[in-house]
Structure 1
Amino acid sequence: MLRQKTTVIWAVIVTIILTGVIVWQWSLAKVTQEAEHYEKLKTFTEVLSLVKKNYVEEVKDKDLIYGAIKGMLQSLDPHSSFMPPEVFKEMQVETKGEFGGIGIQIGIKDGILTVIAPIEDTPAYKAGVKAGDKIIKINEEQTKDMSLHDAVTRLRGPKGTSVTITLMRKEWDSPRDMTIQRDIIKIHSIKSRVLEDGIGYIKLTQFHEQTGAELEKALKGLEKENINALILDLRNNPGGVLDVSVDVSSRFLPQGKLVVSIKGRKEVKKEYHTGNSKKYYDYPMVVLVNEGSASASEIIAGAFKDHSRSVLVGTKTFGKGSVQTVIPLSDGSGLRLTTARYYTPKGTSIHTTGITPDIIVTPDASKEEDIQLQRAIDILKTWRILKEPPKTG
């Protein structure tokens, strides 16, 4: 009995010692990590001090610190950025639906400033800027190593002023200049009409907070025209609010269907499912996409493809499958940080790869006819005859 008690006591002592060692090692690792952290910051403060003392011109601490933060964010990925207070305030402008500029959404692809999509009925759209165009210069300033924020700042400006952009396109032998007059850019997210043979058509140009309600209104209007099939046009739609893409999907997919999941480095995977929409629209459906379809557009295209809800027609999408979180900072500035990636219902990452349509139709610049739209119409007519979507692959 005594031997048994002694064994138990020693077991407790060993457990306490082991627990203490583990906690001590964890604490030591944490302290070591923080020490390394501050050791690297020591180099930064050393450089800051040397610049303040020896640089040829006097510089403000704020400019140096902000410049260092910008450089740190630029080293991560093209979509992470630092916004000084005045820029952080300006960021709200676009979501309100009106701003001064030429009307293009831009991103960085393969290290080059690239047009994601021109916004319909804007100066850039009317001037002939196309999705996929590479922006080589803005007002003769090279865009290589230019941040997205700096590019946007240079493109925007008061109504009536002009900006010259130098573009390179696949079909061109050399870059070309376009001088475009800025205007107030008003974003209208939805256009709808009835095409031939009772086929409804809805063009979604962007996803903002009112898109779901605007879509519902458009669908009800088309129903009054007795449509029997639908084309959803997501071409040149650069995306927008994640929740809105789920809201849009909820009108065409049954309740409870997985639309998209997101996962960060440490976060548990978060899933977004279709909600209980007031009405579920189950028309035969074709979705049009191209290289200007990005972000939220790709979420919808990926969900519809994985759930076999529609036939995807067009060209491969842009491939922006990352999630940016906007974080306000204490001095009024802000941080836009990539914190996660999107995954389609079948677990496919669209980041950099995009989504390949079921039926690839490349536009023909020599023809006035929209051959992608015409192909969508033909598919729906065939669908109606066969009573099932045409085979793809």
Structure 2
Amino acid sequence: MNSPEKTPETETKNSFLRIKKFHFAMLLFFLVFLTAGITTFALAFGEDKPAVQVIREREEFAKLYDAYDTLKNDYYQDVDQEKLINGAIDGMMESLDDPYSDYMSQEDAKSFHQSLSSSFEGIGAEIQEREGNIFIVTPLKGSPAEKAGLQPEDKILSVDGKSIQGMSSTEAVALIRGEKGTDVKLSILRQGAKQPVDVTITRDTIPIETVYGEMLENGIAKVQITNFSQNTATELVDVLNDMQKEGMKGLVLDLRQNPGGLLDQAVKISSLFVPEGKILFKVEDRKGNIEEYTSENKNNNNLPLVVVIDKGSASASEILAGAVSESAGVPLVGEKSFGKGTVQRAEDFSDGSNMKFTTDKWLTPEGNWIHKKGIKPDLEVPLPEYASLPFIDPEAELKVSVASEQVKAAQKMLKALGFNPGREDGFFDEKTKTAVVAFQKSKKLEENGVLKGTSTIELMNSLREKIKNEDPQIKKAVEVLKQEMSK
């Protein structure tokens, strides 16, 4: 999921923060055994000086050695030595209390690397662990997760009936991902909802196509970047070239629900819109040393631009938004972004496992650290309330006399679509049934006044289409862009 199901995405520093083999941890545990051997030899022959010298070199690990030896020798069952070592590393990562630092087993590491490639199999949603809970950061465009109605900030309570509270995002991804064509049932709690709902999603191959373009009106193009994968910069250049052939005179760049991805792609894309020599972002290490990254754009692209962001815009997409805003004066429209201001590096162990950990802060060109704060747009434009209505389980039967939060959501959807249910308090009465029948008639469905299966899916799809067609954030961006183009 990497989240897409990815998750957690990691900000890989490509050429300037390279992914390299990490041998330190394995060497450390080799020294554990070596130290034990030296100690035994010294005690047997009365030579204690070498053992004391070795221990004193890394005295902070004495407690770890003692715990390992005690469990290995005295636990009531035989212990898996490799599992103990992996658990020690995992415990170190957990102690950082950083949702972006994680230890991954061989299988998890394989999934992680796949999430940065051209495709993977799963439901297609970025997730994040916060305070022991797993949240959706954003569903990928066109993914099963998006089609099922998952939204940013949805909390996942369980996967196929198994609670995932207390799990890391990597552990949750391992449960949620699976082979194409298989089903996974998620228990979802949406913000503002009192009761969770079960959502069954059929896994599919998730292609990492990350750039989508279309011409709107008066030479205005809208280009959406869904995440920053290996080929995103190249995809974007190709799409922009196509838009120029269609007469593009101005561009709306849509970064909504973009969870980020590879840092080098953010650098390349930001450079397309920021003048040469201007700062794109800054990186600050633990000692306070700051390195600036500047645009290498030599094309002097003066294309009028407006960028749209929301609470699902995170990390690399925030780097791009901050760069164009502060170094190129590009207007930002929409809602405050997610607020991820750290950079991660992924390093592999020799056995194929992996650990991902935070190495630096990143700052906007003006030195702002947006972590847990987000980037506030120049023009705040919220989506209508109906855009964040909770998912309705198609397997649930909503009919006369039923009262529930899902009925309330259905009533709000019906009203937004022009079918007045008469009430929005969650009680399904005869007037609500009349509204359902009218909706079913408009879609040429069985007119039974019951919301279930196809009727429920059509209701949610119709609302999604309305949101797309009446998108106030894009409309405002077009309005602002027209003003920029007329200057």
Q: TM-score, normalised by structure 1?
A: 0.84
> Paired residue for 2:69?
49
- CA drift at 1:110: 5.4
Matched, 1:167 2:188: yes
SS at match of 2:218: helix
Matched, 1:95 2:196: no
Contact 1:79 1:336 in 2 (8 A): yes
- CA drift at 1:254: 0.8
2:310 maps to amino acid: N
Moved more, 127-136 or 162-171: 162-171
Matched, 1:357 2:357: no
2:205 to 178, 184, 200: 184
Seen in structure 2, the aligned counterparts of structure 1 residues 109 and 308 have a Cα distance that, compared at 3 Å, is farther
Moved more, 49-58 or 66-75: 49-58
Matched, 1:157 2:258: no
Aligned residues: 352
Moved more, 221-230 or 46-55: 46-55
- CA drift at 1:35: 6.8
Moved more, 134-143 or 346-355: 134-143
> Paired residue for 2:405?
none
2:158 to 114, 119, 137: 137
- CA drift at 1:37: 7.9
Q: Deviations over 1:294-334 (max 9, x none)?
A: 11100011112212532111111111111111122244332
Distance 2:161 2:110 in 1: 28
Matched, 1:297 2:317: yes
Distance 1:360 1:136 in 2: 31
1:228 to 234, 249, 252: 249
Matched, 1:335 2:436: no
Distance 1:110 1:378 in 2: 40
Contact 1:253 1:309 in 2 (8 A): no
Distance 1:168 1:205 in 2: 24
Distance 2:166 2:130 in 1: 12
1:119 to 119, 140, 145: 140
Listed as ranges, the gaps of 5+ residues in structure 2 are 1-53, 388-415, 417-465
Contact 2:128 2:169 in 1 (8 A): yes
> Paired residue for 1:344?
364
Seen in structure 2, the aligned counterparts of structure 1 residues 276 and 305 have a Cα distance that, compared at 3 Å, is closer
Moved more, 263-272 or 37-46: 37-46
The answer to which structure, 1 or 2, has the higher relative contact order (CA under 8 A, 6+ apart) is 2
Matched, 1:256 2:277: yes
> Paired residue for 1:310?
330
Contact 1:166 1:175 in 2 (8 A): yes
> Paired residue for 1:319?
339
Contact 2:274 2:295 in 1 (8 A): yes
> Paired residue for 1:378?
479
Matched, 1:79 2:180: no
Q: Deviations over 1:246-284 (max 9, x none)?
A: 11111111111100111121373222111135x343222
2:176 maps to amino acid: L
Contact 1:168 1:174 in 2 (8 A): yes
Contact 2:283 2:291 in 1 (8 A): yes
> Paired residue for 2:305?
285
> Paired residue for 1:69?
89
Contact 1:250 1:276 in 2 (8 A): yes
1:351 maps to amino acid: H
- CA drift at 1:374: 1.3
Q: Deviations over 1:8-48 (max 9, x none)?
A: xxxxxxxxxxxxxxxxxxxxxxxxxx978844422222222
Distance 2:482 2:328 in 1: 18
Distance 1:283 1:108 in 2: 39
- CA drift at 1:111: 5.0
SS at match of 2:201: strand
Seen in structure 2, the aligned counterparts of structure 1 residues 86 and 287 have a Cα distance that, compared at 3 Å, is same
Seen in structure 2, the aligned counterparts of structure 1 residues 37 and 377 have a Cα distance that, compared at 3 Å, is farther
Contact 1:285 1:309 in 2 (8 A): no
> Paired residue for 2:238?
217
RMSD: 2.0
Structure ranking higher in strand proportion: 1
Seen in structure 2, the aligned counterparts of structure 1 residues 319 and 36 have a Cα distance that, compared at 3 Å, is farther
Seen in structure 2, the aligned counterparts of structure 1 residues 257 and 82 have a Cα distance that, compared at 3 Å, is same
SS at match of 2:113: helix
Distance 1:363 1:37 in 2: 59
Distance 1:280 1:125 in 2: 37
2:382 maps to amino acid: T
- CA drift at 1:205: 0.9
- CA drift at 1:89: 3.2
Distance 1:94 1:182 in 2: 15
SS at match of 1:319: coil
SS at match of 1:196: coil
- CA drift at 1:85: 3.1
- CA drift at 1:344: 0.2
2:335 maps to amino acid: T
Listed as ranges, the gaps of 5+ residues in structure 1 are 1-33, 388-393
- CA drift at 1:372: 1.0
Q: Deviations over 1:169-226 (max 9, x none)?
A: 2232222221111111111111101101111111111112222221111111111122
Matched, 1:60 2:80: yes
Contact 2:117 2:230 in 1 (8 A): no
Q: TM-score, normalised by structure 2?
A: 0.69
Moved more, 97-106 or 369-378: 369-378
Contact 2:213 2:222 in 1 (8 A): yes
